[in-house]
Amino acid sequence: MGRLLYLRRIIAVGLGFSVFGTGALTLGLLIFPALILVVRNADRCRHVVRSLIRVTFRGFLGILRALGVIKLVIPEMSKLDTLKGTFIICNHPTLIDVVILMAYLKNVQCVVKKEL
pLDDT tens-digit map of 66-110 = 999 999 888 887 777 777 788 877 776 677 888 888 888 887 777
pLDDT for 52 equals 93
pLDDT for 94 equals 72
Mean pLDDT of the chain: 87
pTM score over 0.85: no
- Please tell me what DSSP assigns to residue 28: I
Q: At what angle do helices 96-104 and 42-67 cross, to 10 degrees?
A: 120
pLDDT for 93 equals 65
Residue type, 39: V
The set of residues, in sequence order, having a beta carbon less than 8 Å from that of 90 and lying 6+ positions away, is: 97, 98, 101
Residue 53 pLDDT exceeds 60: yes
